[in-house]
Structure 1
Amino acid sequence: MSERLQALADAGVSIWLDDLSRERIETGNLAEMVKEKSVVGVTTNPTIFASAIADGERYDDQVRALVADGADVTKVIFELTTEDVRNACDVLAPVAAATESDGRVSIEVEPDLAHDTDGTVESARALWSAVGKPNALIKIPATPEGLPAIATAISEGISVNVTLIFSTERYREVLDAYMTGLEGALDAGIDVATIRSVASFFVSRVDSEVDARLEAIGAPEALGLRGLAAIANARLAYTAFEEATDSDRWRRLLERDAKAQRPLWASTGVKNPDYPDTLYVTDLVVDDTVNTMPQKTLEAFADHGELHGDQVTGRGAEAAAVFDQLAAVGVDFADVLSVLETEGVEKFQKSWAELVVTVQDQMGRARP
């Protein structure tokens, strides 16, 4: 057992692995990480699945069977990915039974539906039904069109991982959509105690975009602000979470046994080699949150990660001051957020296209 990862978990941070493959499941690696690395959840995306399918032979038999049945590439992707998530949910089921909100495995609606509310709802329903496990989470992007889809899915008892959140303003809309969904579920007679949700607030990409702008400005006062925006942005998001859960509206839902939509720190792999490789873990420690990490980041923290207590609560004013300083040197943070959301959707769509090509290649090899 990793002492550092256990200490992180003891500090109230749920450690989720941002990776999944059939090999991890079938070899027992995922179960071992639950036991030895304090992993209590899994997140996935099309890039993760493309890598898993391209690198492993464990999908071949299922691909051959699906091709023989006349399945198209969309059907094959759906069957391969939902089977992996279903089986991972089984691995995590004991964690889900022993904890209030962990033991969850996420699967994403098709990225091409990011601006299609009805299509997103239909995809969420299909994925939820196909996985068929209460500890699954359906990932829905926090686009303007995604927000009503989130509310609808929650209102139908579907647990949701809201992804691609970059701004505190959008995050407040996500919190509102979650509560709207819970209210709809209550109206429909659904037990809201069965519904879970996390809100995935992206971290490292903020520093990547802001730092590039600061370096383009080049002034000493600008360069001195590198590496501060992402953590500050996440801390402001947590302030929004605290405000939402301190409202009369939330208290009414809490009385009906609703569970909070926990903040999840996503994109926590450090992209700048000049920064500590555990930066977005150590500096975002706060109770009752999730940090989903690629294995490289998880192993780095297990090896040399440091804990300095709660690094988030009560630091909203300090975080806001960072954005005052960024504005003063000429960084338009509203534009940063707009670019990140647009690029975020485009990156997910690109990774989906790569997954399609990967599976088509596998299908081609499977045909007689």
Structure 2
Amino acid sequence: MKNILFINTGGTISSSYQEHGLTPTQSAESILAEIPELRELCHIDAYNLMSIDSTNTQPEDWATIARMVHKSLDDYDGIVIAHGTDTMAYTASALSFMLGTVHKPIVLTGSQVSILAENSDSKKNVIDSFLTACGEVTGVFVVFNGKIINGSRSSKIRTRSYNAFESINYPYIGLVENGKVNYTEGLLPSGQVNHPYNDSYCAEVFLLRLIPGTNPGIFDAIQSLGYKGIVIEGFGLGGVPFKERSLIDKIEQLMKDGTTIAVTTQCPYEGGDLTIYEVGQKVLEKGVIPGYDMTTEALVTKMMWALGQAADPAEAARIMGTNYVNEVTIPAETTHV
């Protein structure tokens, strides 16, 4: 029987109705008490690390979770983390980078409805997560509604439905059906670079979603607030306007001042490509980092992680251009080694 550590961090799964709405109140032990059949599957130790709505999650919390997981890995066969759904994809992506190359399953899960409610999705999600944590697949995953998703490819795309999470631009690692884990055949690592544990981060990263008419002065404001990195969600394949209200000069100036800037697409599926259109090539020529097919969650957390260990923009760009956990598909001619 395998040994699994269950870490509770809060979220809807552990919530009950309080004066101001749903609030995390339940402990790891009380969540497990609602699913007694888990004890037949494995030996479980429970730990209450924090109890917060994931909307309140900060980068500091990612590092706290990473340290707890890292120090526990030698003592357990797998780890399940109960987490709020709203920022779970950010945490899963951050942990994917911080924890380094892991050889055990680290599973994040949660629910759209409290563990205390009837017909909640919480019990299935927790059981599916423990089945995954007892399995042979290794890495950081989100398990939700029967889907096993690479943590750095996960994104919450629905606010209420039980099928809230999707794997973006990457196949499911597997599916959990009728109490059995079925892994995707032929799904092998592709060009990943092994990396050690490092929970350093720089929280000064700004996400800017462009709209027609974006004032170029926004970049002065961002710089004045001390941000070290910017992720820009451009149009289509990653286009950035260069005519009326051109943003190109401001981007170039910030990069000369040492700001790290990545450009991606606003479209969740199929990724960006700055080489196709003039509106992409002009910003690419200034030296921005292409986001390729990364999720916004992975791109933001990866930049925070890169800047946390690399003050030199060139080194941060090298880290950003490296595939660590199958978080990105990089064209062969631009792959960093």
Does the pair score TM above 0.5? no
Structure-2-length-normalised TM-score: 0.29
Normalized per residue, the structure richer in strand is 2
